[in-house]
Structure formats: C-alpha cells, structure tokens
Chain A
Amino acid sequence: MAAPAVGFFLPATQAIMNASTLDKDVNSAMPPGDFAIWIFIYAELLAFGIFFLAYAFTRAHNVELFNASQLSLNRESGAINTLVLITSSYFVVRALAAIKRGRQVFCVRWLAAAIAMGGLFVAIKLAEFHAKFSAGISLHTNTFYMFYLSLTIFHFMHVLLGMLILGFVLFKAHRGHYSAEQHAGVETGASYWHMVDLVWIILFPLVYVIR
C-alpha cells in the first residue's frame, strides 16, 4: 500500500502547498455563501459532535458489545460511500469553480454529477439499511445498533436534504440565475453539502472501523 501512496501523496501535497500561497484575496472575508447557512452548519455539527462523543463514551463502557456488533456492519459499503461522498463534494467544488469563471453549463453539469453521486450514496445506504432491517435489527436491538442506526439515519436525512438543496441550486443555475459575479447561492448549497461530507468523514472511521 505504501508505494502508490507516495505517488499520490507528493504531487497532492505540493499542489496544496502551492495553493495556499496562490490566492491573494484572503483573510478578511466571511465564510462563502449566505452566513445564515453557516449558523445552521455550526449548529448541526454541534449536534453531530455531541452524538459522536456520546457514542465514543458509551462504547468505552461496552467495548465487547460494540466490537462484536461492529463486525456485522458492511465496511465495504461504508468505505464506498465515503468515496462517493468525497467525490460528490469534489464535483461541487468544480461546479463552484466553473460558475466563478462564468461557465454556467459546466456548473450545471458538475452539480448534476454531484447529485447523482448523492443518489448513489442513498442507494447504497438503502441497501445497507434493508439488509439490517431484514436481519431484524432495529433501534432497540442493543446500544450499538441504536447508535449506528440513529447516526446513519440522521446523516442519511441530511444527505437527502443536501440533495434537495443542490437540486434547487441546479435548477437556478440552469435558469441562469448565477454568474461569475453573482453566485452566493451556489456557495451556500456547496457549503451545506461539504458539511454533510465532513460529518461522514468522522462517522465512517468512528462507527465502522475504530475498534
């Protein structure tokens, strides 16, 4: 695993380091998009954060139960979903970059791709839920599944909401409401979508991997 890692890692790090010195319109601004969404984002992150810590500390008291139940999770689908969401987020970044250069058509296409990835996430997640529910697992099976299902369903609903928001942004982009100068709406939707991604980035290792 180490050899290809270096191959990726070097150009990637280089790109990142270059990037931070590139942008000069820096450091005095508010977060991108409408600030109202950021209040929402910070609040949602707080709710998820408390839930994550509740999971972690409850696990500390029930290590055997959590480790045993964790084995029944489908780690592949969790990992694939992580990749799906990351990629979807990346597409949204490209959509925003496109509209910033005034390329409306590309913006629409990248957004559509991002939403499609969201749909893929939903499909995989539904398959995962279906498997669990048909195995008779519910919120009340044990504490681990209570957390697993609450966290993933809560996140799942955020994915749906995020797709709804992106769909709305797509619709407006398609109608030509955004331009290189005026694209706060895209930034707002994008910020929310990245939050959904960010939450999953913590959730996946915490619930599926750490043992």
Chain B
Amino acid sequence: MIKRHNPIRPCTGVWLLLVLLTLVTYGIGEAGLGGIEVVFLLLAMVLIKGQMVADFFMGLRRVRLRWRILLTIYLLLVVSGIALAYLMGIK
C-alpha cells in the first residue's frame, strides 16, 4: 500500500463532515427555516450523509457495484419520495 500523507484518516474526515452537516441541519431547524429550497438542501445533506455512511463506514465503496448501488438507489428513492410529498403538501 502507498504510504499515507493525508493529515487525517478518511473515516475521521467523514465523521467530521457528518458532524458538520448535522449541525447545519440542527441550525436550520433552530432558525425555523422552511420552504422548498431549505427542504431540498436538507434532503441533499441526507443524501450525502447516507452515501458517506454507506461508502466509508459500511465499507461499501470497496464492494461489487450492485451492492453499493442498491443503497444509493434506496437513498435516492426515499429522498425523492420525501421531496415529492413535500411538494404535494405545499399546494
């Protein structure tokens, strides 16, 4: 294996990213923000966080594509379903 030079382990980086995104999510909640743009941002963060957990924590980035993509499809379906439902609720 190539000798690593990055300052932090990849999993630590992911962890920091997840913490950050969670704080942003919380901040949005505290600010009482709503509306399409905010919800889409929140859902985008869910997508990123979910994929990070799948790839780096669950270790799916190193497995056959079909098992990895299954979770990606799952996240996409759930998130887009939630988005669709949100849009329906606006009317």
Contact present between A and B (CB < 8 A): yes
The CA-CA distance from A28 to B25 in the complex, in Å, is 36
* Pairs across A and B, CB under 8 Å, 20 listed: A13-B13, A14-B13, A19-B10, A20-B61, A23-B61, A46-B74, A52-B81, A56-B81, A75-B26, A79-B29, A82-B26, A93-B15, A93-B57, A190-B57, A191-B59, A198-B50, A198-B53, A206-B82, A210-B82, A211-B34
Q: Is the CB of B70 within 8 A of A8?
A: no
Q: Is the CB of B11 within 8 A of A52?
A: no
Instruction: Write the B41-69 contact mask toward A (1 if CB under 8 angstroms, else 0).
Output: 01101100110111011111111110100
Residues on A with C-beta less than 8 A from B23 are 1, 79
Is residue A135 contacting chain B, with contact meaning CB distance below 8 A? no
Total contacting residues, chain B, CB less than 8 A: 65
User: Which residues of B pack against A, CB within 8 Å?
Assistant: 1-2, 4, 6-20, 22-30, 32, 34, 39, 42-43, 45-46, 49-50, 52-54, 56-65, 67, 70-71, 74-75, 77-79, 81-82, 84-86, 88-90
Q: Is the CB of B11 within 8 A of A32?
A: no
- Dominant SS at the B interface? helix
Interface bin, chain A:
35 or more
Is residue A3 contacting chain B, with contact meaning CB distance below 8 A? no
**CB-CB under 8 A for A18 and B63, given A194-B53, A198-B54, A209-B29:** no
Q: Is the CB of B17 within 8 A of A8?
A: yes
Residues on A with C-beta less than 8 A from B70 are 42
